Amino acid sequence: MMIAAGLMAIASCTDITPIDVDDIPQKELYKRDLKKWAEEEETLRKNKADSAAIAEENKKLREAYLADLREYKKSKHMVMFGWFAYWNPTSPDNTFSLDHLPDSVDFVSNWGASWNLSEEKKAQLARLHEKGTRMTVGWIIENIGDGLQNKPEGGWSNEPYKAVEQYAKAICDSIEKYGYDGIDIDYEPQFLSPFKQGNHCGDWSDPWEKNKALISCDQEANKQYENHFFKKIREFLPKEKLLNINGSIGWIDPQVADVFDYFVFQSYDRTYQVWESTAIKLMQQQPKVKAEQFIYTETFQTKPNNANQFFKYASFVTQNKGKAGGIGAFHINEDWLYGPDYKNVRAAISVMNPPFNN
């Protein structure tokens, strides 16, 4: 009896009459949702189109800005230069990234590892070139072969003038291969070398074939090989490439001074006035050299106070228009730290080339 009653109870519980669903309201709700979904899809499409249009407009504005920047670099103005130290695009420290240089910097010299550029360096150099900023390569030159890994087949010739030409050609080939914009010759025969006895000049004490000395250790004599070298570098470099020289400007033979684009004075620690007489004398001895080819530089290397007073260099070259072509800094990228964000370099550029007031 109890089993029968239980079965009857189960039967009665499962005998449920389904609730009638009104199909008309369901269809209306579906139509409403379809409209809502369509509106959302149209909004999304429009947002994407607007974003694409904004991106395209920003791209055009960026391209126009870069074009204007490149034209500015070609115009007559006072230049900003710097030796860029320890270039490393993959470093987490932006001090070593070219991407953070102020856009108005005209050219820098790669001070350090110069060849066998990584893909990251090639990409960063390409972005630098988009701004019209140029990068030269530079190192101290004393003997034939300095600073190069590539040698001619059979080595450097034992005939001096041929070896000089081989060296000049190898340098220019490497500049072209790696996309540099020229060379900044570090010419320091008047300065003591920390790496050897004597000055930063050729090793002339042994027979020439051993060291293949190039740079004279005398201010007035024994200039034939270095003069030939300077002339051959200019000959082998494309016309648009820079041939700059820094250091012992007063030791350059005036007969070959006209091959250079810029003469860079190492007028560190606010000694710029000391070098004025050197500039004047060189122009007197070689009339083809003009004042706008002279660049006065400060050193920022571990010297934040020098960076913070860099504006004095800008004031010096602008007080008497025509006395110089611009200014620069050794380890210019340290102003990323001292400025910060290159504040001192930006301020100096504004002093030399005041922005237009709209």
Residue 37 confidence class, pLDDT cut points 50, 70, 90: confident
In a domain, 26, yes or no: no
User: Which of the given ranges, 11-20, 33-42, 267-276, has the highest pLDDT on average?
Assistant: 267-276
Cis omega (within 30 of 0) for bond into 18: no
Instruction: List all residues 6 or more positions away from 347 whose beta carbon is below 8 Å from its beta carbon.
Output: 310, 311, 314
What mean pLDDT is predicted for residues 106-123? 92
With beta carbons less than 8 A apart as the criterion, state whether 216 and 202 touch.
Answer: yes
Number of Cβ atoms within 10 Å of the Cβ of 312: 14
Q: What is the pLDDT of residue 18?
A: 55
With beta carbons less than 8 A apart as the criterion, state whether 139 and 150 touch.
Answer: no
Percent of the chain beyond pLDDT 70? Answer: 92
In a domain, 27, yes or no: no
Residue with tokens 């140029």: 134
> Residue 301: pLDDT above 60?
yes
Q: What is the pLDDT of residue 7?
A: 46
Residue with tokens 């040698």: 151
CATH number for the domain harbouring residue 326? 3.20.20.80
Question: What is the overall mean pLDDT for the chain?
Answer: 91
Q: Give 146-202 pLDDT, tens digit per residue.
A: 999 888 999 999 999 999 999 999 999 999 999 999 999 999 999 999 989 999 999
In a domain, 290, yes or no: yes
Q: Give 215-258 pLDDT, tens digit per residue.
A: 999 999 999 999 999 999 999 999 999 999 999 999 999 999 99
Instruction: List all residues 6 or more positions away from 184 whose beta carbon is below 8 Å from its beta carbon.
Output: 83, 109, 136, 137, 138, 242, 244, 245, 246, 264
Residue 113 confidence class, pLDDT cut points 50, 70, 90: low
Q: What is the pLDDT of residue 226?
A: 99
Amino acid at 195: F
> Residue 332: pLDDT above 70?
yes
For the whole model, what pTM was predicted?
Answer: 0.85
Does residue 228 or residue 4 have the better pLDDT? 228
Number of domain units in the chain:
1
Backbone angles phi, psi at 339, to 5 degrees: -55, -65
In a domain, 357, yes or no: no
In a domain, 196, yes or no: yes
With beta carbons less than 8 A apart as the criterion, state whether 97 and 84 touch.
Answer: no
Q: What is the pLDDT of residue 76?
A: 95
Number of Cβ atoms within 10 Å of the Cβ of 41: 10
Instruction: List all residues 6 or more positions away from 126 whose beta carbon is below 8 Å from its beta carbon.
Output: 179
In a domain, 68, yes or no: no
The first and second tokens of residue 73, run together, are 């670099």
The first and second tokens of residue 114, run together, are 């110069």
Percent of the chain beyond pLDDT 90? Answer: 77
Does residue 63 or residue 182 have the better pLDDT? 182
What mean pLDDT is predicted for residues 308-327? 93
Q: Give the structural domain span for 327.
A: 80-352
In a domain, 6, yes or no: no
Q: Are strands 79-85 and 242-247 parallel, antiparallel or unpaired?
A: unpaired
With beta carbons less than 8 A apart as the criterion, state whether 42 and 50 touch.
Answer: no
User: 269: alpha, beta or left, given left = phi > 0 and alpha = psi -120 to 50?
Assistant: left
Q: What is the pLDDT of residue 21?
A: 55
In a domain, 48, yes or no: no
